[in-house]
Amino acid sequence: MNFDLTSEQQMIQKTIREFANEEVAKGAIERDRTKEFPKHIFEQLGDLGMMGLPFPEEYGGGGADTISFAIVTEELSRACGSTGITYSAHISLGGAPIHLFGTEEQKQKYLNPICTGESLGAFGLTEPNAGSDAGGTKTTAVEDGEDFIINGSKCFITNASYAKHLALTAVTGMKEGKKEITAIIVPTDADGFTVIDNYEKMGLHASNTTELVMDHVRVPQENILGKKGNGFQQFLITLDGGRIGIGAMSVGIAQAAYEKALQYAKERHQFGQSLSKFQAIQFKLADMAMKIELARNMVYKAAWLKDQGKPFSKEASMCKLYASEICMEITNQAVQIHGGYGYMKEYQVERYMRDAKLVEIGEGTSEVQRMVIARAIGC
């Protein structure tokens, strides 16, 4: 399959690459140190029309495709992994469920501010005892007249501190002995809704990762996203799209690490010649280049299938699994090529390595991806 980018995709790539190089990359080291969320960057992305890129224009979006979303996520992640994951989650976890399952009224009310960047997108799924086993959800939404009363907690939720509303999953009853899980749109300023931002993370320090606590939060039943009881299936579909985003993020971080390693290998001299003249280093760099190219093509294929309305769940899992694992491998090798300098923050590759670990975990661990793929091939 030939992934020649269209003129529109090339323009988006050129625009976002210049922006990432000039605006995003320059503060990445300092943001990693201070853990400051780059709010100004997302305001600028809103001005560029990137915050609603793949959503319809009637809701304030850009009317672009999933490949364009993948391009933007990759380029932002190449400059700063924290910025990349924030953008990916904003689109694929925040905006996508409302676009896919929301009523016209819900789209006008909730998708529009996401597209304009007025609100960052977030999605409340993971709980302390329900990560990969999302069916273990314990948050409850009990009917009370025309409202729901929501109680429970969510953990590891991206962007919630900057979201005015988010869709979250809750148990709304039992059906045939199984939990009936429903997605509900909840304003983050609702009484009893608390966002806690105090995680100490290994990497992605400038991204917003939060805990949500719901204590008798009242929302109208009209805030159900899609149909009651369809929440489980909805978030599986949502995660398929999100995995394309994590795949693109993985490619971006790996690309950054590869570029730093290649540059260092050319400039660093040992035993009378540059490191890049040693076959051991050449082979490492050749493998990096090859694996990044493969990963990028896998991301583009999954995105293309999604845009064509074709089944893409298997390909999304494949691209996420492969891209995330080669990202971890490449960032590790980039540190190794730098030797002692790779361990030092100013050379940046240690940050790439710390940031990379999350892509093997988020949106379904590597183990979960292998389960999805195994089922898809008929095991």
Q: What is the pLDDT of residue 131?
A: 76
CA–CA separation, 7 and 132 (whole Å): 39
Q: Among 337, 226, 331, which residue's Cα sits nearest to residue 278?
A: 337
CA 312 to chain centre: 17
The tokens of 209 are what? 């990762």
* Catalytic option among 127, 315, 325, 363: 363
Q: What is the mean pLDDT of residues 42-65?
A: 97
The tokens of 49 are what? 């029309």
363 catalytically annotated: yes
Q: What is the pLDDT of residue 312?
A: 97
Positive or negative, the Cα torsion across 200, 251, 302, 376?
Answer: negative
- Say yes or no to pLDDT of 243 above 80: yes
The tokens of 190 are what? 């609702």
Q: What is the pLDDT of residue 55?
A: 97
In this prediction, residue 139 has a pLDDT band, given cuts at 50, 70 and 90, of very high
The tokens of 263 are what? 């540059």
* Percentage of the residues of the chain whose pLDDT score is greater than 90: 94
Is the domain spanning 233-377 CATH 1.20.140.10? The answer is yes
In this prediction, residue 195 has a pLDDT band, given cuts at 50, 70 and 90, of very high
Q: How far is CA 107 from CA 47, 55, 218, in A?
A: 21, 10, 21
CA–CA separation, 79 and 17 (whole Å): 9
pLDDT digit string, tens, across residues 262-278: 999 999 999 999 999 99
Query: For 123-230, CATH number?
Result: 2.40.110.10
pLDDT digit string, tens, across residues 287-326: 999 999 999 999 999 999 999 999 999 999 999 999 999 9
In this prediction, residue 133 has a pLDDT band, given cuts at 50, 70 and 90, of confident
Higher pLDDT, 175 or 54: 54
Cβ-based neighbour number of residue 286 at 10 Å? 11
Q: Is 116 exposed, middle or buried (0-12, 13-18, 19+ CB in 10 A)?
A: middle
- Say yes or no to pLDDT of 1 above 60: no
Query: For 7-116, CATH number?
Result: 1.10.540.10
The residues of the chain that CATH labels 1.20.140.10 are 233-377
Q: What is the pLDDT of residue 2?
A: 52
Residues linked to residue 154 through DSSP beta bridges, in sequence order: 212
The residues of the chain that CATH labels 2.40.110.10 are 123-230
- Say yes or no to pLDDT of 209 above 80: yes
Cβ-based neighbour number of residue 243 at 10 Å? 29
pLDDT digit string, tens, across residues 76-127: 999 999 999 999 999 999 999 999 999 999 999 999 999 999 999 999 999 9
